[in-house]
Structure 1
Amino acid sequence: MKEAMNHYFSLRKEIADEGLDFLFKIPFDEDVDSLIYVGEVDEDEYISWRPVKKKDINDFKSLEENLGIRIHPSVIEYFNSYWFADLDGFIKDHYIKLESVLPKADIESYRNMLMGYKNNHNNKLEHIPIGIEGNGLIVVVDNENGSVKLEDFERNSFEVISEGIKQLITTLRLKR
C-alpha cells in the first residue's frame, strides 16, 4: 500500500510542480497536527501540506469489536500508511475522493461514519465506505474480497471499479 501511495504522491507532486500547486493546499485547520503542514497560512486561510509516512499504527481492534465485524485488512493498511490531506483523481469517467488521514483526527470520527453506514444498511457492514464519487456515489471496499466498488444507495447497486485499494490508487489519474 505504501508503495502505491508513494507513487501517487510523487505523481501529484510532479503535476503540482507544473503549476497546479493547489494540489497540495488545503484550508487551515487548527485541530490538525502541524506534522503535514508546510509553510504559513496564506491570505485565503489555506496552507500547503505534504504526505508523511506513518510511524504510529492505529489499532482497529476496539472499533471492530464495537461494530461486531472484521474490517478488511486493506482498509486498515490504507489508514496506517500515510498522513495526508487529499487523495483523489479520476478512474474511468468517475472522479474519486478517498478519505483523508490527518494527524490528530480521531478514529472516532471514522467510527461514527461506519456506524451511520451500518445503520443505513440493515445493521450490516458487508462494504466499508472509504470515499465519495463526484456524483454522490459512495466508494466502498467489499469486506469479503477487498474489491473497490461504487455504491448507488438509492438503486441498491454496486459497480466494481478496482480489484483493491492499492490498485485503485495506482490507476487514479490526476488529469481527465
Structure 2
Amino acid sequence: MTTTLHPPLNSDSTLPPAAEALEQLLQRFIELSHKLNLGLPTVEYDKNWLSECIIDEQPDEKGLVKWQPKIRRAEGVFSQMEDALGVKFHPDVIAFYTHFWSDGIVASHSNGEISLIQIWNSEDEDMLKQNLLGHAFAKQKNRLPLTLFIGCTYNDDIIAIDNNSGHVVLERPGFAPHETIANSISEFLNQLTPTLKPYNG
C-alpha cells in the first residue's frame, strides 16, 4: 500500500515544473518507505522540534514518530530577503522551498549521494532564510554570481540554483560555481533516486 500526498497540489492550479518534480520525488520517497519499511518514514521525536508533517506525536518504543510531507500554500516567503538583497529570486527557488513542509531527504545522483534541503517547520524556515541571506550577501561582497543553495554532496560541494539562469550547479564555499549538473531544478530532481538514509542537515 502506498500513501499519496493529499490534497494534490495541482487540484486548483497549475503546478510550476519545479514543484511538480519535487512532489514526484517526495512521492517516490514515500513509496520506497512503504516498500522497504512497510509504512511511512520515521524521525526521532523532539518535543521542541514539531512539524505539521508528524502523523502522531506519540513516539514508538524507539522514540520515533511517523511523518510525511505536508502540502503548504505560502506566498511572499522570501519577499523581505529579496528587498534586502535588491534582487528577485529565480521562480524555481521559490517553487522548491514553498510548496511543502518536509524533512530533508538523502538521494542518489550520478555524482554520488546528496542531501536535499526542505523546510520542517516555521523555525526551520527562519534559520534557512538567515543562512540563505548570509550566503547571498557573501556572493555580493565577493562579486560572484548569485546562487541559492538547495543541498550538498557528500564531497562537501554546495548544490545551488544559479539565480540568473536557473541552472543547478556545484560550488565550493566562497567560490563561483565550477560545474553545471542540470539545466533546471525539475531536470535535476527527476535525476534523483530517493533513499531512506537519515537526513542530518
| Letter paired with 1:65 | D
Identical amino acids, percent of aligned pairs: 22
Does the 8 Å CA contact 2:158/2:170 hold for their aligned counterparts?
yes
> 1:58: how far off?
4.4
> 1:103: how far off?
2.6
Q: Deviations over 1:93-141 (max 9, x none)?
A: 3212121112323543122212332354352561111111111110110
Match of 1:25 in 2: 42
Q: Deviations over 1:2-31 (max 9, x none)?
A: 321222122112211222469822222334
| Letter paired with 1:19 | L
The unaligned stretches of length 5 or more in structure 2 are: 1-17, 196-201
The correspondence of residues 138-149 of structure 1 with structure 2, limited to 5 A, is 138-149=158-169
Cα distance change of structure 1 residues 14 and 98 upon mapping to structure 2, 3 Å threshold: same
Match of 2:180 in 1: 160
Displaced runs of 4+ in structure 1, greater than 6 A? none
Task: Say which SS state the counterpart of residue 117 (structure 1) adopts.
Answer: helix
**CA RMSD, aligned part only?**
2.5
Cα distance change of structure 1 residues 86 and 63 upon mapping to structure 2, 3 Å threshold: same
Task: Say which SS state the counterpart of residue 149 (structure 1) adopts.
Answer: strand
Using the size of structure 2 for normalisation, the TM-score is 0.75
> 1:60: how far off?
1.5
Distance 1:104 1:49 in 2: 16
The unaligned stretches of length 5 or more in structure 1 are: none
Task: Say which SS state the counterpart of residue 65 (structure 2) adopts.
Answer: strand
Q: Deviations over 1:34-83 (max 9, x none)?
A: 42102332344332210111123343211111122221111111111111
Cα distance change of structure 1 residues 163 and 87 upon mapping to structure 2, 3 Å threshold: farther
**When the two structures are aligned, how many residues end up with a matched partner?**
175
